[in-house]
Amino acid sequence: MMLTRRKWLAATLGGMQATAQEPRRPNIILIVLDDLGSGDLGFMGSKDIPTPHIDALATSGVVCTAAYSTHPFCSPTRAGLMTGRYPQRFGYENNPKFDRTNEVLGLPLDQRTLPQVLQASGYRTGFIGKWHLGATPAHHPNRRGFDEAFGFSGGGHDYLRQGAAEESDGDLIPIDRNGKPEPVFPGYLTTAFTREAVAFIKKTPSRQPFFLYLAYNAPHSPLQAPDSYLQRVRHIPEGERRTYAAMIAAADDGVGATMEAIRARGQEKETLVIFCGDNGGPASDPKTSNGVLRGYKGQLYEGGIRVPYVVSWPGKIAAGSRLDYLVSTLDVFSTACAAAQIPLPDTPRDSVDLMPYIQRLVKGSPHTMLFWRHFEQVWAARNDNWKLVRRKGEAAELYNLTEDPSETRNVAAERGDVVDRIWAQVERWNKGLAPRRF
């Protein structure tokens, strides 16, 4: 058969493309722990909770020491993780109530998500764990960019049982696999999520890159752990903290198993892993440790929003590194897109690709300023070593975090110049936000 020159060229080049060894794009794994005290991991200074696998992940890459979530609550931070935008820009600054029918109560459907972007570019995408971005069918992870989804849609779940679909409340809804309720509860929930994460990795063809969002609800309430994990932390006096520690130990095993699944594929150098908390540890239920930081979940003091944050990519990031500049959970979006060689969507992002900063190709801080707004009642901003916190109708507080990491000495009266400069930027940022949707 004779081929025209154009067809011959097309066939030849097509064949060349098929056989050329293009570098494989990296797998991307995002692991989130829920309501984790920032001082409750080994590498963050915990003395009583053993987290060898998370510590090993931290040692393998870079620890971001000034990293923040976008909100002191679970759901808005996740909205920021999935979109790379301050969730307040689209009116998202509270946890939505669990509701199967109200489409206002979830991540707005016009917001393009990271898994949608990665999926469209050829990534296999998997969600496992706590979604908390809306409970209606339109908000389901499968409809928001994930090929595979296993978990639950609310803000928390019982770790040991589930109810029947018809009668369940948010904490007891049946675990969902791709839109269908699991007929049988899959066992201790943290361990089940780990099992699913490993299965997802194993099932992905080795040439195809994947994105895995492993969102453990551990160690969020309710406080429940099997005896095997309680035994592992039996050095802690019996009580809430022992159970909390056991829940973290189970999640730590999950991180270990996930990394082992990557090693088994020989893809350590082809896998970018980001690990972070979603907000600070809560004040009670149980008493968590936020280390030296002031405050707890729900507050805009450091204890509510500063989170453990690790980025690992062997071969690209030097083991044992540290980044002391401002980093946000919003940055997952751009970092992932850049790693996957995907040009960012046109919509304005608040997210920064961290890799050039981590690799010291770019000097300075990924962010000049970071901002927070909680329920249109409290604002905060971080600029360099300064932290401003202001409640509606009250005077601003100002802290110098280099000298005073625990925010004990309000220096607003002495440094009115700094207060005015930062507050002017907060006001400008605030003008670009939408009213609260719920």
Contact track, Ca ion, 414-433, x by CB under 5 A = --------------------
* Candidates 53, 64, 71, 74; catalytic one: 74
Cβ-proximal residues to 120 (8 Å cutoff; 6+ apart), any chain: none
Find out whether 277 and 296 touch, Cβ atoms under 8 Å. Answer: no
Instruction: Find the part of the chain contacting Ca ion (CB under 5 A) among 26-34, 38-46, 168-176, 285-293.
Output: 26-34
Closest by CA to 258, choosing from 84, 64, 115, 60, is 60
Instruction: Find the part of the chain contacting Ca ion (CB under 5 A) among 33-41, 231-239, 258-266, 307-315.
Output: 33-41
Whole-number minimum distance, CB 392 to Ca ion, in Å?
24
| Residue 35 touches Ca ion, criterion: CB under 5 A | yes
Closer residue to Ca ion in complex, CB, 278/350:
278
Find out whether 321 and 312 touch, Cβ atoms under 8 Å. Answer: no
Cα separation of 385 and 326, whole Å?
10
Cα separations (Å) of 433 from 90, 93, 126, 334, 437?
A: 7, 10, 31, 21, 11
Instruction: Find the part of the chain contacting Ca ion (CB under 5 A) among 6-14, 279-287, 311-319, 384-392.
Output: 279-287
Cα separation of 301 and 12, whole Å?
61
| Residue 49 touches Ca ion, criterion: CB under 5 A | no
Q: What are phi and psi of 64, to 5 degrees?
A: -90, 110
Cα separation of 434 and 425, whole Å?
17
Closer residue to Ca ion in complex, CB, 116/279:
279
| Residue 171 touches Ca ion, criterion: CB under 5 A | no
| Residue 247 touches Ca ion, criterion: CB under 5 A | no
Cβ-proximal residues to 268 (8 Å cutoff; 6+ apart), any chain: 262, 314, 315
| Residue 302 touches Ca ion, criterion: CB under 5 A | no
b/e code 290-314 from CB counts within 10 Å (16+ = b): bbebbbbbbbbbbbbbbbbbbbbbb
| Residue 81 touches Ca ion, criterion: CB under 5 A | no
| Residue 74 touches Ca ion, criterion: CB under 5 A | yes
Look-up of token digits 């199967």: 100
| Residue 279 touches Ca ion, criterion: CB under 5 A | yes
* Site residue total, Ca ion (CB under 5 A): 5
String of DSSP letters for 378-409? EEEEEETTEEEEEETTS--EEEETTT-TT---
Closer residue to Ca ion in complex, CB, 246/305:
305
Closer residue to Ca ion in complex, CB, 31/262:
31
Find out whether 145 and 118 touch, Cβ atoms under 8 Å. Answer: yes
For the question of residue 220 being annotated catalytic, the response is: no
Which of residues 32, 34, 118, 280 is near Ca ion by CB under 5 A?
34
Closer residue to Ca ion in complex, CB, 219/366:
219
Contact track, Ca ion, 118-157, x by CB under 5 A = ----------------------------------------
Closer residue to Ca ion in complex, CB, 278/407:
278
Contact track, Ca ion, 1-20, x by CB under 5 A = --------------------
Closer residue to Ca ion in complex, CB, 249/305:
305
Which residue is closest to Ca ion by CB? 74
CA atoms 291, 307, 55, 240: torsion sign: positive
| Residue 278 touches Ca ion, criterion: CB under 5 A | yes
Instruction: Find the part of the chain contacting Ca ion (CB under 5 A) among 47-55, 66-74, 238-246, 327-335.
Output: 66-74
Whole-number minimum distance, CB 82 to Ca ion, in Å?
15
For the question of residue 74 being annotated catalytic, the response is: yes
* Candidates 53, 132, 157, 367; catalytic one: 132
Cα separation of 199 and 188, whole Å?
16
The dihedral formed by the CA atoms of 109, 115, 120 and 122, expressed in degrees to the nearest 10:
-170
Look-up of token digits 């925010």: 407
Closer residue to Ca ion in complex, CB, 35/148:
35
Binding site for Ca ion (CB under 5 A): 34-35, 74, 278-279
- The residues annotated as belonging to the active site are 74, 132
